[in-house]
């Protein structure tokens, strides 16, 4: 009797794995027994339905149980040497034929023994024959066979694994050996949590995933693993939160509170109820001893800027520095201007810090370093090494998805226990924000200022766009401006889309010959982009033809129409973002989707649903379901943990439950997960918990 195995044992402890295979596994990140049992199948073959040879109808995968009557090697090398095995199951004779590894199979496939056989039969000379079927000897008292006659796991294997003899069959056998030798897989949460919530014991869940008894068992096992992966993530997030909260900051924000209130009173408009709520949440965080880490989600135009300014004024009027990081110069300038308009007549010194060749840059840097400047608004240039603050109290990051995690760290670490407010205009579905920003507090602006028109979304077939052009003519005549959006820049031979270039020429030449039209796309330099944007901003340009590079945050009250070509090419959340660029002034606003011929009917329904809703969260949920979490933010920000089984779309319930449980745990004193090496591995090595902050 072999001794029991431990999760941390090397693979060579398993019967059948030698040092050569061990090193191939290791190249694929599978080093220990634990790694191997967590190497879950890619898919399954259902070989559980057994039928009689006489019942075979067509060449679908089937399984039979039959005795070997005899085997013979036929032909020579040229004449296709092959092993032909006659199988008899009491109804008919079928053949199993092998062209490769003949010597191996001759030894294994002994006449008189009964085998279970799976494969795709084909008719040959009036007999059913199987070419290289899965065959496994049926021995009495040995229980369910491993490779056929059941739901059989298929593993995802690299070329190198295959070449070194690591097949799905091999892995099945290895894992079966682990379980039969006995390996203790602890489940420290079983009694208290899993059992109560109808999950499996961790050991059973893993076993079911490799050797499921039926397909329903797979689902339940996956839910169990998903729950544990989420729990591991949430426990880590809670630990980080705990650590951050233990970092007592000592700033005294008493003085600024009044100034911040006065600022709010002085605004030319009343705050919306949700702005008020969010501002008070932020004030609480600022006054609190723990450094703030808060994500503010608010649809485009919901008024995040004044919220940020109220917080910055609170900090700056208390004598500390507050910085606002914006992704582009245009946005930085816009915020700077807004600040001056709304608070310019107070004695609070403010600095705008932008790209390389800014005038007086050295002086600005000094002002920041010496603490002369209390409010600092800037672009990526704030991240530069030689920018240091005298005492940075608060950092606000606008359009946070435009910045990477390291950039956030960089700016936060320019202060000590810096309070941090991240802002995003993309409503993030709850399940996604829990996994991406689980460590943060969440504030939501879910209403727009009342004087704002809702944007009406209209669908037109591209073939009937003349009517659209006519209406737009009228609006242009009234002094309105128009965004015209295309999904790509240039015509390409492979994708038949109207490109922004061609569209630009077309609009300029034939459709709106007397209108000033500008073109904006991703191949322009940052400087060129800014200058095109500027000419739209100051009203010189009337129609801005653009790819999606136009700024989310830019506030152009005069633009009331956005036309989107090939809307089927965009994600719904992205369409919603685009739509948010109009309707910022007081006049009626429209989003016009120009639909191509032959639009897929399902896509059309989706776009119609989109047109009906103005609820960013609802649309974000739809988008997440349609596109999956990886694509939700596009390319810049992903950082979702590499879960093995957990999927935030399908396992939303498990995610919420794991969050609740992690929050109710005594994170500091609960020792159960200290050595829970099992799930430390769930997050791949070097995996940053996204949103994880170092304070
Ligand atoms: P976003 O949330 O997209 O960043 P902004 O902060 O740029 O939105 O606000 C959009 C516009 O709405 C700005 O011109 C701002 O001054 C204005 N605004 C903000 N809050 C209110 C309010 N409560 N009532 C009316 N207008 C508001
Ligand atoms: Mg904004």
Per the domain annotation, does 524 fall within a domain? yes
- pLDDT category at 631 given cuts 50, 70, 90 is low
Per the domain annotation, does 122 fall within a domain? yes
- The number of angstroms, rounded, from the C-alpha of 358 to the middle of its chain's C-alpha atoms is 37
Q: From the CA of 308, how far away is ligand 2's center (Å)?
A: 10
Q: Is 153 left (phi over 0), alpha (psi -120 to 50) or beta?
A: beta
Half-sphere exposure for 370 (CA within 13 Å, toward CB) = 8
Which atom of ligand 1 is closest in space to residue 580's alpha carbon?
Answer: 3
**DSSP code of 10?**
B
**DSSP code of 199?**
P
Per the domain annotation, does 685 fall within a domain? no
* Share of residues in the chain with pLDDT > 70 (%): 92
- Alpha helices for 182-303 (secondary structure H): 202-210, 215-246, 254-266, 273-287
- pLDDT category at 650 given cuts 50, 70, 90 is confident
> Would the pLDDT of 340 be above 60?
yes
* Distances, alpha carbon 295 to alpha carbons 110, 355, 377, 401, 596, in Å: 68, 26, 19, 11, 38
The 3-state DSSP class for residue 313 equals: helix
Query: DSSP assignment of 585-613, as one string?
Result: SSS-EEEEEEEPTT--HHHHHHHHHHHH-
Could you read off the pLDDT of 8-53 as tens digits, one per residue?
A: 889 888 888 899 999 999 998 899 998 899 999 988 888 888 899 9
> Would the pLDDT of 635 be above 60?
no
Residue 122: CB atoms within 10 Å: 13
Least confident of 116-125, 143-152, 353-362, 494-503: 494-503
- Alpha helices for 267-328 (secondary structure H): 273-287, 304-317
Per the domain annotation, does 31 fall within a domain? no
Mutate to test the pocket of ligand 1, among 263, 305, 554 (most ligand atoms within 8 A of CB): 305
Which atom of ligand 1 is closest in space to residue 272's alpha carbon?
Answer: 23
> Stretch 610-615: mean pLDDT, rounded?
91
Q: From the CA of 400, how far away is ligand 1's center (Å)?
A: 18
Q: Using a 6 Å CB cutoff, which residues line ligand 1?
A: 269, 271-272, 275, 298, 300-306, 425, 449, 451, 553, 555, 584
> Stretch 562-572: mean pLDDT, rounded?
91
Q: From the CA of 695, how far away is ligand 1's center (Å)?
A: 31
Residue 392 is predicted with a pLDDT of 96
Residue 678 is predicted with a pLDDT of 54
Could you read off the pLDDT of 46-100 as tens digits, one per residue?
A: 888 889 999 998 878 888 999 999 999 998 777 788 999 999 999 999 999 999 8
Residue 437 is predicted with a pLDDT of 82
Residue 32: CB atoms within 10 Å: 20
Could you read off the pLDDT of 452-478 as tens digits, one per residue?
A: 778 999 999 998 889 999 999 999 999
> Would the pLDDT of 492 be above 70?
no
Q: Which token pair is 59? A: 């060449």
Shortest-distance Cα residue to atom 14 of ligand 1: 555
Residue 339 is predicted with a pLDDT of 96
Per the domain annotation, does 203 fall within a domain? no
> Stretch 352-381: mean pLDDT, rounded?
91
> Would the pLDDT of 245 be above 90?
no
* Average pLDDT score, the chain: 86
Model-level pTM? 0.75
Residue 541 is part of a domain; what is its CATH number?
A: 3.40.50.300
Phi, psi of 29 (to 5 degrees): 80, 10
- Which ligand has an atom closest to residue 304 CA? 1
Domain end, chosen from 548, 583, 613, is at 613
- pLDDT category at 358 given cuts 50, 70, 90 is confident
Q: Which token pair is 305? A: 């800027």
Query: According to the 3-state scheme, what is the secondary structure of 26-74?
Result: HHCCCCEHHHHHCCCCCEEEECCCECCHHHCCCCCCEEEEEEEEEEEEE
Q: Which token pair is 672? A: 């159960």
Residue 369 is predicted with a pLDDT of 96
Residue 56 is part of a domain; what is its CATH number?
A: 2.40.50.140
Could you read off the pLDDT of 169-189 as tens digits, one per residue?
A: 899 999 998 888 887 888 888
For residue 367, give the H/E element and its range: helix 361-370
CA separation for the pair 31, 265 (Å, rounded): 63
Least confident of 373-387, 401-415, 574-588, 677-691: 677-691
Domain end, chosen from 88, 119, 149, is at 149
Q: From the CA of 120, how far away is ligand 2's center (Å)?
A: 60
Residue 547 is predicted with a pLDDT of 84
Per the domain annotation, does 175 fall within a domain? no
Per the domain annotation, does 668 fall within a domain? no
Q: From the CA of 114, how far away is ligand 1's center (Å)?
A: 78
> Would the pLDDT of 494 be above 60?
no
Least confident of 142-151, 241-250, 479-488, 498-507: 142-151
Could you read off the pLDDT of 252-272 as tens digits, one per residue?
A: 998 899 999 999 999 999 999
State the total domains in the chain: 2
Least confident of 110-124, 245-259, 631-645: 631-645
Q: From the CA of 305, how far away is ligand 2's center (Å)?
A: 6
> Stretch 129-137: mean pLDDT, rounded?
90
Per the domain annotation, does 598 fall within a domain? yes
The 3-state DSSP class for residue 649 equals: coil
Domain end, chosen from 149, 181, 212, is at 149
Residue 370 is predicted with a pLDDT of 95
Using alpha carbons, select from 418, 223, 427, 247 the residue that is nearest to residue 320: 418
Give the domain range for residue 488. 455-613
Could you read off the pLDDT of 662-692 as tens digits, one per residue?
A: 889 888 888 777 666 556 554 433 333 333 3
């Amino acid at each position: 009797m072999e001794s029991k195995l431990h999760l941390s044992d090397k693979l060579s402890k398993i019967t059948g794995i030698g040092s050569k295979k061990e090193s191939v596994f290791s190249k694929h990140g599978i080093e220990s027994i634990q790694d191997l049992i967590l190497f879950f199948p890619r898919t399954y073959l259902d070989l559980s339905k057994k039928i009689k040879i006489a019942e075979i109808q067509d060449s679908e995968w089937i399984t039979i149980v039959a005795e070997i009557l005899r085997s013979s090697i036929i032909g020579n090398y040229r004449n296709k040497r092959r092993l032909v095995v006659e199988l008899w199951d009491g109804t008919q004779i079928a053949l199993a034929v092998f062209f490769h590894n003949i010597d191996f199979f001759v030894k294994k496939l002994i006449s008189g023994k009964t085998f279970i056989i799976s494969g795709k039969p084909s008719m040959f000379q009036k007999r059913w024959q199987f070419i290289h079927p899965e065959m496994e000897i049926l021995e009495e008292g040995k229980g369910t066979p491993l490779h056929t006659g059941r739901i059989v796991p298929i593993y995802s294997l690299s070329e190198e694994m295959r070449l070194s003899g690591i097949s799905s069959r091999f892995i099945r056998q290895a894992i079966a050996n682990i379980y039969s030798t006995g390996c203790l897989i602890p489940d420290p949460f079983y009694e208290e949590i899993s059992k109560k919530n109808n999950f499996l014991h961790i050991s059973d869940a893993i076993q079911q995933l490799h050797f499921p008894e039926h397909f329903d068992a797979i689902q339940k096992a996956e839910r169990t693993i998903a729950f544990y992966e989420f729990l591991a993530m949430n426990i880590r997030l809670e630990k980080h939160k705990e650590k951050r909260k233990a970092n007592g900051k000592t700033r005294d924000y008493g003085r600024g509170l009044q100034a911040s209130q006065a600022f709010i009173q002085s605004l030319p408009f009343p705050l919306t109820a949700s702005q008020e709520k969010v501002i008070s949440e932020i004030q609480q965080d600022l006054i609190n001893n723990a450094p703030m880490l808060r994500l503010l989600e608010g649809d485009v135009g919901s008024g995040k800027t004044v919220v940020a300014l109220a917080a910055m004024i609170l900090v700056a009027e208390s004598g500390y520095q507050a910085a606002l990081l914006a992704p582009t110069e245009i946005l930085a300038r816009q915020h700077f201007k807004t600040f001056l308009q709304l608070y310019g007549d107070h004695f609070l010194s403010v600095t705008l810090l932008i790209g390389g060749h800014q005038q007086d840059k050295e002086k600005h840097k000094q002002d920041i370093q010496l603490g002369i400047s209390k409010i600092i608004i800037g672009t990526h240039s704030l991240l530069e090494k030689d920018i240091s603050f005298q005492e940075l109290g608060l950092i606000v990051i606008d359009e946070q998805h435009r910045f990477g995690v390291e950039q956030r760290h960089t700016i936060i670490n320019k202060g000590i226990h810096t309070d941090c407010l991240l802002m995003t205009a993309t409503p993030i579905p709850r399940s996604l924000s829990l996994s991406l920003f689980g460590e943060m507090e969440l504030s939501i602006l879910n209403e727009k200022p009342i004087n704002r028109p809702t944007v009406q979304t209209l669908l037109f077939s591209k073939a009937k766009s003349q009517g659209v052009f006519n209406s737009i003519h009228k609006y242009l005549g009234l002094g309105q401006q128009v965004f015209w959006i295309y999904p790509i820049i240039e015509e390409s031979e492979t994708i038949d889309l109207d490109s922004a270039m061609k569209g630009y020429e077309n609009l300029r030449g034939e459709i709106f010959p007397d209108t000033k039209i500008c073109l904006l796309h991703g191949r322009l330099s940052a400087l060129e982009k800014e200058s095109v944007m500027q000419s739209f901003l100051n009203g010189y340009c009337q129609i801005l033809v653009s790819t999606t590079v136009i700024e989310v945050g830019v506030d152009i009250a005069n633009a009331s129409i956005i036309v989107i070509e090939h809307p089927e090419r965009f994600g719904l959340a992205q369409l919603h973002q685009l739509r948010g660029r109009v309707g910022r002034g007081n006049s009626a606003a429209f989003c016009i989707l120009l639909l191509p011929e032959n639009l897929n009917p399902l896509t059309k329904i989706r776009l119609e649903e989109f047109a009906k809703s103005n609820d960013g969260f609802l649309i974000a949920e739809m988008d997440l379901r349609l596109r999956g979490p990886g694509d939700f933010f596009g390319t810049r920000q992903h950082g979702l943990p590499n879960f093995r089984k957990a999927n935030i779309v399908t396992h939303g319930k498990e995610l919420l439950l794991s969050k609740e449980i992690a929050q109710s745990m005594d994170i500091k004193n609960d020792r159960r997960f200290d050595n829970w090496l099992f799930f430390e591995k769930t997050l791949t090595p070097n995996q940053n918990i996204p949103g994880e902050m170092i304070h």
